């Protein structure tokens, strides 16, 4: 088979087999992806920067392979990182903001370091919704002042891209890398994965270190894998988990630290699974998307799962707020910015706001109302409003929400469509989510966020803390029974 054809939808296992057999080298893999980026990303705007050292890194890893030193499943595999994840190399880390366009991190984030140790080739940085979509309430998902608007490869300019790991979603969907790392505070891995027919895993808080990642919050932020298959996402997740003395949240029970999640690729588990259907959260769905959910439920039944329909969550009528994000953003973004190089123009949130005002023609296409809203807080995390919201999130979404209904009905997980409500509950609780391609909505309506609801749709499973093994089993079983993902038809025509 021609290698340019083969690379489309090739899995990490496919690549490792080809590398092992000598049919391809890591240098060739990198070159194939660089060619695809050159050919297709002029329209998608998913890649912010390509690593100028990628080919040399691949060459070094090929040399290791030649002397029988293979680090694992990611050895020589090109992956992309979201632009808020530090890399101590020639790539910038800017959260999509022109105020940090010249910022080089002094060292790798924990996640980047783990990927390098696993033998991955960091191919580049992906575009993202600027400041992880915590800059302006009117900002379009996928937009940054550094790169412009990321477009969905299944319908550039027509279909919703999802945010804020938008570039990671579009790039992996378009086969511009083997996989990518996104980050999530609430939905920012699950949303673009769902909208781009990908598998995305938002891990339990503390499973993956946040050190070296430009933050929104301390309470909810986490990095996680975005890939074309459950198996690839499982491989990536195992590579980035671990204890980090720079992030106390990773000081968890060692039994939860799993290095190989591929052992949970068990399609037969659905025969013993119990899955809850929270109908309350389906009431707003249009016909096409509700049909996708109903089809998924039927598939799970046919595969032997026990479906409890409906289940009511005690928290389902709770009024939520964004106070945790608002108060923690100022504190933790200041902690990050104070350490950036002294030559840069911003070292605090106040500096960012001032820089944006001074460069409004480029920096404020959608304003910066959310940044100003966050700057109005003390930055000390002592406000009663903040403390009450943080406790409410963990208690109502977690122990008195997800946990209570899982325990009441002895469930493995709850099923939601894409990023609709469930992932936000899981994020507030610090619990995991996994989304897997669920189908394609031919028609749609304008959703409350102002986006068109047609296009790829994910089926999302959420569970309790550290339930990644079970969620992977459920997602893998559903994926193997349906195989909904189809590669997008790409055009090399630039939208610029």
- Which residues are known to be catalytic? 82, 164, 188
Residue 68 corresponds to which tokens in the numbers above? 């029988």
* Number of separate helices (H) and strands (E) present in the chain: 18, 13
Residue-by-residue DSSP string for 233-272? HHHHHHHH----TT-GGG---GGG--S-GGGG--GGGGGG
> Cα(34)–Cα(55) distance, rounded to whole angstroms?
10
Of 227, 38, 51, whose CA–CA distance to 124 is shortest? Answer: 51
186 within 8 A of 427, measured Cβ to Cβ:
yes
- Rounded-to-integer distance, Cα 357 and Cα 352, Å: 9
Q: How long is the chain?
A: 496
Query: Residues with Cβ < 8 Å from 436, sequence gap 6 or more?
Result: 199, 230, 458, 459, 460, 461, 475, 478, 479
Q: Which H or E run contains 278?
A: none
- Which residues pair with residue 149 across a beta bridge? 143
- Cβ atoms of 182 and 82 closer than 8 Å: yes
């Amino acid at each position: 088979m021609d290698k340019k054809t083969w690379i489309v939808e090739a899995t990490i296992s496919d690549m490792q087999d080809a590398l092992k057999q000598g049919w391809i080298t890591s240098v060739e893999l990198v070159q194939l992806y660089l060619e695809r980026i050159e050919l297709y990303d002029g329209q998608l705007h998913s890649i912010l920067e390509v690593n100028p050292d990628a080919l040399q890194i691949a060459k070094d890893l090929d040399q290791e392979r030649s002397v029988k030193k293979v680090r694992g499943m990611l050895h020589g595999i090109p992956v992309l990182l979201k632009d808020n994840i530090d890399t101590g190399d020639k790539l910038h880390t800017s959260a999509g903001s022109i105020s940090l366009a010249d910022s080089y991190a002094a060292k790798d984030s924990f996640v980047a370091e783990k990927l390098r140790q696993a033998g991955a080739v960091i191919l580049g940085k992906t575009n993202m919704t600027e400041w992880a979509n915590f800059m302006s309430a009117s900002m379009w998902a996928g937009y940054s002042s550094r790169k412009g608007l990321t477009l969905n490869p299944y319908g550039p300019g027509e279909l919703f891209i999802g945010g804020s790991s938008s570039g990671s979603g579009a790039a992996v969907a378009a086969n511009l890398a083997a996989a990518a790392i996104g980050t999530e505070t609430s939905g920012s891995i699950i949303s673009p994965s769902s909208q781009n027919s990908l598998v995305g895993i938002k891990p339990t808080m503390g499973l993956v270190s946040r050190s070296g990642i430009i933050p929104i919050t301390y309470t909810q932020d986490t990095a996680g894998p975005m890939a074309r298959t459950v198996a690839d996402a499982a491989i990536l997740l195992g590579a980035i988990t671990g204890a980090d003395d720079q992030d106390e949240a990773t000081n968890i029970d060692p039994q939860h630290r799993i290095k190989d999640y591929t052992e949970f690729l068990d399609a037969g588990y659905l025969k013993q699974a119990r899955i809850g259907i929270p109908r309350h959260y389906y009431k707003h769905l249009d016909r096409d998307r509700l049909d996708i959910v109903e089809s998924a439920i039927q598939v799970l039944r046919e595969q032997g799962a026990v479906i409890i329909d409906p289940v009511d969550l005690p928290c389902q009528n709770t009024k939520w707020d964004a106070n945790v994000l608002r108060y923690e953003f100022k504190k933790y973004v200041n902690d990050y910015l104070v350490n950036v190089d002294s030559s840069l123009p911003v070292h605090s949130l106040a500096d960012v706001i001032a820089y944006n005002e001074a460069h409004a023609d480029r920096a404020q296409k959608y304003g910066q109302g959310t940044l100003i809203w966050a700057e109005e807080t003390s930055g000390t995390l002592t406000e009663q409003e903040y403390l009450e919201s943080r406790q409410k999130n963990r208690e109502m979404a977690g122990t008195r929400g997800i946990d209570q209904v899982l325990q009441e009905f002895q469930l493995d997980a709850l099923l939601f469509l894409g990023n609709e409500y469930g992932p936000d509950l899981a994020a507030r609780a610090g619990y995991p989510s996994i989304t897997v391609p669920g189908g394609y909505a031919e028609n749609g309506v304008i959703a409350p966020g102002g986006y068109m609801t047609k296009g790829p749709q994910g089926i999302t499973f959420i569970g309790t803390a550290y339930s990644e093994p079970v969620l992977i089993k459920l997602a893998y079983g559903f994926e193997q029974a349906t195989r909904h993902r189809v590669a997008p038809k790409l055009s090399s025509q630039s939208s610029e």
